[in-house]
């Protein structure tokens, strides 16, 4: 049987230039595994049609001959074919309402759905992700927004020199730019009015590590949540160092009874309440990198911000970089996703109102929902390097077999949300979403 895969053109918006498999890996799949690739043409993709053609791919609008179609973002419902296998970020496992029509169509067409987000190892750790690049770009965009907010308040600072991720030619250039700002702070400091300048990271996974990779180019001190409180109480002034705090689950919530237990929290979040508001008054910037669903407490609520506005004439929290970008989620004031060229809006607790862009007062939110697209080449190469190892098994699989006899690698088997239009064993709960 000839093995043919397809790569769909990304068209969610003009910023989405990423690819799941880069030309070099398409060439490798052909030479090492005799896998033929058909690529839809694209005028905006970071790798050109000619690059794929030179790698041995066929350029065609028609992916009908491909048994498996790979993409990055969601696929329009009209493009699904009966009994075909699709591999992409479906954004369905939390019951996201905006993608339920797509999921219903896939069920009706008896499609197979493999979701990158669910490709897990034996420790249930994700193997294929753009998370690091979401963190890298998200931190750049957050610091850029902070610099703009200070300017709007009449404060000129080194942060004003940090650009958004997409405005740099490469990640290397971006890092060099932030390092130069770090050197300037080393020598001259930042405005004393900002002291202490505390940046809090909610979460410690791939996204958070990517964000910290950028932040760590700036001079800083690292404190625990508990040490932060003590430092604030005894602060003696330091405009040469930012303060970094990485918050873990036990910093975010407390048990209603007894002591904190991580696995118990994941299994029974209803037995816990949020306590992150104890730390929010101490932060200048919050970088949100956590996985969140409605069963978990929020990090930032409108009620909290309203109360802080009443209590403080100049609240310290200036910018929230909501890299996780769950609408009305862990950051309740994240009301919509944004694009890189219009990345910010500002929330005013007095009146529960929003204004577009970076405003001098209020809390400015950065809510770009596809941040890795700001580094499309580097993020695609890293993603493809991992994905290509699984492609031969996926391309060779006979999906007409029962799920138990598919002979797929365990991580891919775990990621099989739909098989012949039916939810896999671990995804039976999703039947409730499509009723």
Residues 347-371 have pLDDT tens digits of 999 999 999 999 999 999 999 999 9
Q: The tokens 């911000």 sit on which residue?
A: 305
In a domain, 233, yes or no: yes
**Are 216 and 307 part of one and the same domain?**
yes
Average pLDDT score over residue span 381-410: 95
**Are 247 and 332 part of one and the same domain?**
yes
**Are 289 and 396 part of one and the same domain?**
no
In a domain, 281, yes or no: yes
**Are 189 and 53 part of one and the same domain?**
no
| pLDDT tens digits, 150-180 | 999 999 999 999 999 999 999 999 999 999 9
CATH number of residue 177's parent domain: 3.40.50.720
- Is the pLDDT at 195 greater than 90, yes or no? yes
If 0-12 CB within 10 Å is exposed, 13-18 middle and 19+ buried, where does residue 222 land? exposed
- Is the pLDDT at 373 greater than 70, yes or no? yes
- Where in the sequence is the domain holding 112, given as residue range(s)? 3-129+376-424
pLDDT on residue 404 = 87
- Is the pLDDT at 198 greater than 80, yes or no? yes
- Is the pLDDT at 311 greater than 80, yes or no? no
- Is the pLDDT at 237 greater than 90, yes or no? no
**Are 198 and 156 part of one and the same domain?**
yes
- Is the pLDDT at 310 greater than 70, yes or no? no
**Are 103 and 141 part of one and the same domain?**
no
If 0-12 CB within 10 Å is exposed, 13-18 middle and 19+ buried, where does residue 274 land? middle
In a domain, 435, yes or no: no
- C-alpha 31/C-alpha 365 separation (Å) is 47
In a domain, 359, yes or no: yes
| pLDDT tens digits, 260-278 | 999 999 999 999 999 999 9
* DSSP strand pairing (112-115 vs 416-419): antiparallel
Share of the chain above pLDDT 90, in %: 91
Name which of 325, 378, 384, 369 is nearest 15 in CA terms.
369
Segment among 5-9, 234-238, 353-357, 418-422 with least mean pLDDT: 234-238
pLDDT on residue 264 = 95
Q: Does residue 178 or residue 403 have the better pLDDT?
A: 178
pLDDT on residue 173 = 98
Quickly count: other Cβ atoms within 10 Å of residue 185's Cβ.
Answer: 21
The alpha-helical segments, DSSP class H, found in 153-205 are: 171-188
pLDDT on residue 411 = 97
- C-alpha 81/C-alpha 402 separation (Å) is 20
**Are 335 and 381 part of one and the same domain?**
no
Number of domains in the chain: 2
pLDDT on residue 401 = 95
In a domain, 431, yes or no: no
pLDDT on residue 141 = 98
**Are 315 and 254 part of one and the same domain?**
yes
| pLDDT tens digits, 281-309 | 999 999 999 988 889 999 999 999 998 86
Average pLDDT score over residue span 244-249: 97
Average pLDDT score over residue span 241-265: 96
Quickly count: other Cβ atoms within 10 Å of residue 282's Cβ.
Answer: 18
- Is the pLDDT at 12 greater than 90, yes or no? no
Backbone angles phi, psi at 280, to 5 degrees: -55, -40
- Is the pLDDT at 313 greater than 60, yes or no? no
In a domain, 168, yes or no: yes
Quickly count: other Cβ atoms within 10 Å of residue 235's Cβ.
Answer: 11
pLDDT on residue 38 = 98
**Are 193 and 318 part of one and the same domain?**
yes
Q: Which one-letter DSSP state was computed for residue 90?
A: -
| pLDDT tens digits, 25-57 | 999 999 999 999 999 999 999 999 999 999 999
pLDDT on residue 314 = 59
């Amino acid at each position: 049987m000839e093995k043919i895969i397809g790569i769909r053109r990304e068209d969610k918006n003009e910023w989405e230039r990423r690819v799941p498999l880069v030309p070099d890996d398409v060439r490798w799949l052909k030479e090492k595994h005799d896998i033929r690739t058909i690529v839809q043409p694209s005028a905006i993709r970071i790798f050109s049609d000619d690059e794929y053609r030179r790698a041995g791919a066929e350029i065609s609008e028609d992916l009908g001959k491909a048994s498996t179609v790979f993409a990055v973002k969601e696929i329009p419902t009209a493009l699904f074919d009966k009994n075909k296998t699709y591999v992409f970020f479906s954004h369905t496992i939390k019951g996201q309402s905006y993608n339920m029509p797509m999921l219903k169509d896939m069920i009706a067409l008896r499609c197979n759905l493999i979701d990158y987000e669910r490709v897990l190892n034996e420790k249930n750790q994700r193997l294929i992700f753009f998370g690091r690049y979401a963190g890298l770009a998200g931190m750049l965009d957050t610091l850029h927004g902070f610099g703009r907010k200070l300017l709007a308040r009449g404060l000129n600072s080194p942060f004003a020199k940090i650009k958004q991720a997409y405005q740099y030619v490469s990640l290397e250039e971006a890092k060099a730019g932030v390092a130069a700002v770090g050197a300037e702070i080393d020598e001259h400091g930042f405005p004393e009015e900002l002291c202490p300048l505390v940046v809090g990271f909610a979460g410690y996974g791939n996204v958070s590590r990517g964000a910290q990779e950028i932040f760590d180019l700036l001079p800083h001190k690292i404190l625990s949540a508990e040490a932060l409180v003590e430092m604030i109480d005894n602060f003696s002034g330091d405009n040469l160092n930012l303060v970094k705090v990485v918050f873990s689950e036990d910093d975010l919530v407390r048990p209603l009874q007894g002591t904190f237990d991580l696995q118990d929290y994941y299994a029974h979040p209803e037995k816990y309440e949020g306590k992150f508001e104890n730390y929010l008054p101490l932060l200048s910037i919050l970088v949100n990198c956590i996985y969140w669903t409605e069963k978990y407490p929020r990090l930032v609520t409108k009620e909290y911000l309203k109360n802080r506005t009443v209590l403080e004439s100049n609240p310290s929290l200036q910018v929230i970089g909501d890299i996780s970008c769950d609408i009305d989620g862990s950051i309740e004031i994240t009301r919509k996703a944004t694009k890189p060229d219009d990345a910010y809006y500002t929330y005013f607790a007095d009146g529960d109102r929003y204004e577009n862009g970076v405003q001098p007062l209020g809390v400015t939110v950065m809510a770009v929902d596809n941040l890795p697209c700001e580094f499309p080449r580097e993020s695609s190469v890293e993603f493809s390097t991992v994905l290509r190892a699984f492609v031969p098994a996926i391309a060779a699989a006979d999906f007409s077999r029962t799920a138990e006899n598919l002979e797929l690698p365990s991580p891919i088997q775990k990621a099989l949300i739909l098989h012949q239009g039916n939810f896999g064993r671990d995804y039976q709960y999703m039947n409730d979403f499509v009723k």
